[in-house]
Amino acid sequence: MIPAPPAGSITIAGKAVSRLGFGTMRLTNPGTWGDLDDRDTALSVLRQAVHTHGISHIDTADAYGPHTVEDLIREALYPYPEHVLIATKVGMVRPAPGQWKPLGNPFYLRACVEASLRRLGLERLELCYLHRIDPEVGRDDQIAVLHAMQDEGKIGHIGLSKVTPEDIRYVVKYLPIAAVQNVLNTTDRFDPSVETCRDLGIPYVAYRPLDAGTLARVQGPAAPLHWVFSQGSHIAAIPSTTKPRHLDEIVAAVQDGPA
Protein backbone atom coordinates (compact mmCIF):
# COMPACT_ATOMS: atom_id res chain seq x y z
CA MET A 1 0.00 0.00 0.00
CA ILE A 2 1.36 3.42 -0.99
CA PRO A 3 1.37 5.96 1.89
CA ALA A 4 -0.62 9.16 1.37
CA PRO A 5 1.61 11.93 0.02
CA PRO A 6 2.68 14.55 2.56
CA ALA A 7 1.09 17.95 1.88
CA GLY A 8 -0.97 16.56 -1.00
CA SER A 9 -0.05 16.08 -4.65
CA ILE A 10 1.04 18.12 -7.65
CA THR A 11 1.42 17.07 -11.28
CA ILE A 12 5.01 17.35 -12.51
CA ALA A 13 6.25 15.83 -15.78
CA GLY A 14 2.84 14.26 -16.31
CA LYS A 15 2.89 12.41 -12.98
CA ALA A 16 0.98 13.13 -9.76
CA VAL A 17 3.68 13.36 -7.09
CA SER A 18 3.90 14.60 -3.51
CA ARG A 19 4.20 18.37 -3.11
CA LEU A 20 6.76 17.62 -0.44
CA GLY A 21 9.64 16.12 -2.35
CA PHE A 22 13.10 15.14 -1.20
CA GLY A 23 16.28 16.89 -2.31
CA THR A 24 19.42 14.78 -2.31
CA MET A 25 22.18 17.39 -2.45
CA ARG A 26 23.12 16.83 1.20
CA LEU A 27 23.68 13.09 0.76
CA THR A 28 27.34 13.91 0.22
CA ASN A 29 30.31 15.00 2.30
CA PRO A 30 31.02 18.72 2.93
CA GLY A 31 31.40 20.73 -0.24
CA THR A 32 28.86 18.39 -1.92
CA TRP A 33 31.86 16.21 -2.60
CA GLY A 34 32.02 12.42 -2.47
CA ASP A 35 29.86 9.86 -0.73
CA LEU A 36 28.39 10.68 2.66
CA ASP A 37 30.61 8.95 5.22
CA ASP A 38 27.60 7.13 6.66
CA ARG A 39 26.42 5.55 3.42
CA ASP A 40 24.02 3.17 5.16
CA THR A 41 22.14 6.09 6.72
CA ALA A 42 21.96 7.85 3.37
CA LEU A 43 20.41 4.74 1.82
CA SER A 44 18.02 4.45 4.76
CA VAL A 45 16.85 8.07 4.45
CA LEU A 46 16.04 7.60 0.76
CA ARG A 47 14.06 4.42 1.44
CA GLN A 48 12.31 6.04 4.39
CA ALA A 49 11.26 9.00 2.25
CA VAL A 50 9.64 6.80 -0.40
CA HIS A 51 8.47 3.69 1.38
CA THR A 52 7.56 5.08 4.83
CA HIS A 53 6.47 8.64 4.14
CA GLY A 54 5.03 8.44 0.62
CA ILE A 55 7.39 11.02 -0.88
CA SER A 56 7.25 10.36 -4.61
CA HIS A 57 9.39 13.23 -5.94
CA ILE A 58 13.14 12.64 -5.60
CA ASP A 59 15.40 15.41 -6.90
CA THR A 60 19.09 14.98 -7.69
CA ALA A 61 21.84 16.10 -10.11
CA ASP A 62 24.86 14.60 -11.75
CA ALA A 63 26.92 17.32 -10.04
CA TYR A 64 26.10 16.04 -6.55
CA GLY A 65 29.23 14.20 -5.47
CA PRO A 66 29.83 14.67 -8.40
CA HIS A 67 28.03 11.59 -9.75
CA THR A 68 27.83 9.74 -6.43
CA VAL A 69 24.24 10.56 -5.46
CA GLU A 70 22.71 9.16 -8.65
CA ASP A 71 24.48 5.88 -7.85
CA LEU A 72 23.14 6.08 -4.29
CA ILE A 73 19.57 6.57 -5.50
CA ARG A 74 19.81 3.54 -7.74
CA GLU A 75 21.17 1.41 -4.91
CA ALA A 76 18.44 2.55 -2.53
CA LEU A 77 15.37 2.55 -4.74
CA TYR A 78 15.87 0.52 -7.93
CA PRO A 79 13.63 -0.84 -9.36
CA TYR A 80 11.80 2.44 -8.93
CA PRO A 81 8.15 2.31 -7.88
CA GLU A 82 5.84 3.34 -10.73
CA HIS A 83 4.50 6.37 -8.84
CA VAL A 84 7.95 7.83 -8.05
CA LEU A 85 9.50 10.61 -10.15
CA ILE A 86 13.30 10.71 -10.23
CA ALA A 87 14.33 14.16 -11.47
CA THR A 88 17.95 14.98 -12.24
CA LYS A 89 19.91 17.97 -13.51
CA VAL A 90 22.79 18.29 -15.98
CA GLY A 91 25.12 21.07 -17.07
CA MET A 92 27.43 21.79 -14.11
CA VAL A 93 31.05 20.81 -13.62
CA ARG A 94 32.73 20.46 -10.24
CA PRO A 95 36.39 21.56 -10.28
CA ALA A 96 36.76 20.98 -6.51
CA PRO A 97 34.73 20.69 -3.29
CA GLY A 98 32.34 23.62 -2.97
CA GLN A 99 33.04 24.83 -6.51
CA TRP A 100 30.41 24.86 -9.26
CA LYS A 101 30.63 26.04 -12.87
CA PRO A 102 27.98 25.89 -15.59
CA LEU A 103 29.06 24.05 -18.73
CA GLY A 104 26.48 24.18 -21.49
CA ASN A 105 28.51 22.79 -24.37
CA PRO A 106 26.00 20.63 -26.28
CA PHE A 107 28.42 17.69 -26.51
CA TYR A 108 28.93 17.84 -22.75
CA LEU A 109 25.20 18.01 -22.05
CA ARG A 110 24.61 14.99 -24.26
CA ALA A 111 27.33 13.07 -22.42
CA CYS A 112 25.80 14.10 -19.08
CA VAL A 113 22.39 12.73 -20.02
CA GLU A 114 23.87 9.44 -21.23
CA ALA A 115 25.89 9.07 -18.01
CA SER A 116 22.91 9.86 -15.79
CA LEU A 117 20.86 7.22 -17.61
CA ARG A 118 23.56 4.64 -16.83
CA ARG A 119 24.02 5.63 -13.20
CA LEU A 120 20.29 5.70 -12.47
CA GLY A 121 19.64 2.53 -14.44
CA LEU A 122 17.04 4.15 -16.68
CA GLU A 123 16.26 4.17 -20.39
CA ARG A 124 14.67 7.63 -20.09
CA LEU A 125 15.07 10.52 -17.67
CA GLU A 126 11.47 11.44 -16.93
CA LEU A 127 12.48 14.95 -15.84
CA CYS A 128 15.85 16.41 -16.79
CA TYR A 129 16.67 19.99 -15.82
CA LEU A 130 19.29 22.22 -17.36
CA HIS A 131 21.08 22.86 -14.06
CA ARG A 132 22.15 26.36 -15.10
CA ILE A 133 22.06 28.26 -18.37
CA ASP A 134 25.71 28.75 -19.29
CA PRO A 135 26.18 32.43 -20.25
CA GLU A 136 29.20 31.49 -22.37
CA VAL A 137 27.22 29.17 -24.67
CA GLY A 138 24.23 30.07 -26.81
CA ARG A 139 21.02 29.50 -24.90
CA ASP A 140 19.39 28.02 -27.99
CA ASP A 141 22.21 25.48 -28.36
CA GLN A 142 21.79 24.28 -24.77
CA ILE A 143 18.04 23.84 -25.10
CA ALA A 144 18.29 22.32 -28.58
CA VAL A 145 20.44 19.37 -27.48
CA LEU A 146 18.07 18.50 -24.62
CA HIS A 147 15.14 18.82 -27.02
CA ALA A 148 16.91 16.51 -29.48
CA MET A 149 17.41 13.92 -26.75
CA GLN A 150 13.74 14.28 -25.85
CA ASP A 151 12.87 13.47 -29.46
CA GLU A 152 15.18 10.45 -29.20
CA GLY A 153 13.24 9.21 -26.18
CA LYS A 154 16.10 9.64 -23.71
CA ILE A 155 14.45 12.56 -21.90
CA GLY A 156 10.75 12.61 -21.06
CA HIS A 157 10.36 16.22 -19.89
CA ILE A 158 12.69 19.22 -19.71
CA GLY A 159 13.02 21.58 -16.75
CA LEU A 160 14.99 24.74 -16.01
CA SER A 161 16.88 25.62 -12.82
CA LYS A 162 18.02 28.99 -11.44
CA VAL A 163 16.31 31.00 -14.15
CA THR A 164 14.65 34.38 -14.58
CA PRO A 165 11.17 35.14 -15.94
CA GLU A 166 12.82 36.22 -19.19
CA ASP A 167 14.55 32.85 -19.51
CA ILE A 168 11.29 31.03 -18.89
CA ARG A 169 9.28 33.07 -21.38
CA TYR A 170 12.00 32.69 -24.00
CA VAL A 171 12.30 28.91 -23.74
CA VAL A 172 8.56 28.25 -23.50
CA LYS A 173 8.15 29.77 -26.97
CA TYR A 174 10.05 26.78 -28.37
CA LEU A 175 9.21 23.85 -26.13
CA PRO A 176 7.15 22.98 -23.04
CA ILE A 177 8.84 23.45 -19.68
CA ALA A 178 7.83 20.72 -17.23
CA ALA A 179 9.13 22.50 -14.10
CA VAL A 180 11.21 25.42 -12.90
CA GLN A 181 13.48 24.96 -9.89
CA ASN A 182 14.62 28.08 -8.03
CA VAL A 183 15.49 28.94 -4.44
CA LEU A 184 12.53 30.09 -2.32
CA ASN A 185 12.24 30.36 1.44
CA THR A 186 11.35 32.87 4.15
CA THR A 187 14.83 34.39 3.87
CA ASP A 188 14.88 34.52 0.04
CA ARG A 189 11.22 35.49 -0.29
CA PHE A 190 11.05 37.24 -3.62
CA ASP A 191 11.39 35.35 -6.86
CA PRO A 192 9.43 36.84 -9.77
CA SER A 193 9.55 33.43 -11.46
CA VAL A 194 6.88 32.25 -9.00
CA GLU A 195 4.35 34.49 -10.72
CA THR A 196 5.65 33.70 -14.19
CA CYS A 197 5.21 30.00 -13.56
CA ARG A 198 1.72 30.58 -12.16
CA ASP A 199 0.78 32.57 -15.27
CA LEU A 200 2.15 29.92 -17.62
CA GLY A 201 0.87 26.88 -15.71
CA ILE A 202 4.38 25.58 -14.94
CA PRO A 203 5.10 23.75 -11.66
CA TYR A 204 7.59 25.63 -9.50
CA VAL A 205 9.95 23.52 -7.36
CA ALA A 206 11.41 25.42 -4.41
CA TYR A 207 14.89 24.29 -3.48
CA ARG A 208 16.46 25.24 -0.13
CA PRO A 209 12.97 25.78 1.37
CA LEU A 210 14.55 25.48 4.84
CA ASP A 211 17.64 27.51 3.80
CA ALA A 212 19.98 24.53 4.14
CA GLY A 213 18.48 23.72 7.54
CA THR A 214 19.03 27.16 9.08
CA LEU A 215 15.32 27.97 9.26
CA ALA A 216 14.44 24.56 10.68
CA ARG A 217 16.98 24.98 13.47
CA VAL A 218 15.62 28.40 14.40
CA GLN A 219 11.87 27.96 13.83
CA GLY A 220 11.29 24.27 13.25
CA PRO A 221 10.28 23.09 9.78
CA ALA A 222 6.52 23.77 9.92
CA ALA A 223 6.33 27.56 9.52
CA PRO A 224 8.92 27.85 6.71
CA LEU A 225 7.42 24.98 4.70
CA HIS A 226 3.85 26.17 5.16
CA TRP A 227 4.92 29.63 3.95
CA VAL A 228 6.48 28.14 0.79
CA PHE A 229 3.37 26.09 0.01
CA SER A 230 1.12 29.08 0.67
CA GLN A 231 2.72 30.96 -2.24
CA GLY A 232 0.64 28.92 -4.71
CA SER A 233 -0.84 25.54 -5.49
CA HIS A 234 1.69 25.22 -8.33
CA ILE A 235 4.57 25.06 -5.84
CA ALA A 236 6.41 21.97 -4.61
CA ALA A 237 9.32 21.89 -2.15
CA ILE A 238 12.39 19.65 -1.94
CA PRO A 239 13.99 19.93 1.51
CA SER A 240 17.02 17.78 2.15
CA THR A 241 18.39 16.01 5.21
CA THR A 242 20.78 13.22 6.12
CA LYS A 243 19.01 12.32 9.36
CA PRO A 244 16.02 9.93 9.57
CA ARG A 245 14.64 11.72 12.64
CA HIS A 246 14.82 15.09 10.90
CA LEU A 247 12.95 13.65 7.91
CA ASP A 248 10.25 12.43 10.30
CA GLU A 249 9.96 15.98 11.67
CA ILE A 250 9.72 17.53 8.21
CA VAL A 251 6.96 15.15 7.16
CA ALA A 252 5.06 15.63 10.43
CA ALA A 253 5.25 19.40 9.96
CA VAL A 254 3.27 19.28 6.71
CA GLN A 255 1.14 16.20 7.37
CA ASP A 256 -2.03 18.24 7.81
CA GLY A 257 -1.46 20.08 4.54
CA PRO A 258 -0.06 23.53 3.81
CA ALA A 259 -1.23 26.44 5.90
Tens-place pLDDT, residues 209-232:
998 778 878 788 999 999 999 999
Q: Which of 64, 80, 129, 207 is catalytic?
A: 64
pTM of the model: 0.96
- Tell me the C-alpha distance between 55 and 103, whole Å: 31
- Tell me the C-alpha distance between 134 and 58, whole Å: 25
Q: pLDDT tens digits for 106-128? A: 999 999 999 999 999 999 999 99
What structural domains and CATH numbers belong to the chain? 9-254 (3.20.20.100)
pLDDT at 7: 86
**pLDDT above 90 (res 240):** yes
202, 180 contact by CB (below 8 A): yes
Mean pLDDT for 11-31 is 97
Task: Establish whether 170 is a catalytic residue.
Answer: no
Helix, strand, coil abundance in the chain, percent, nearest 5:
35, 20, 45
110, 70 contact by CB (below 8 A): no
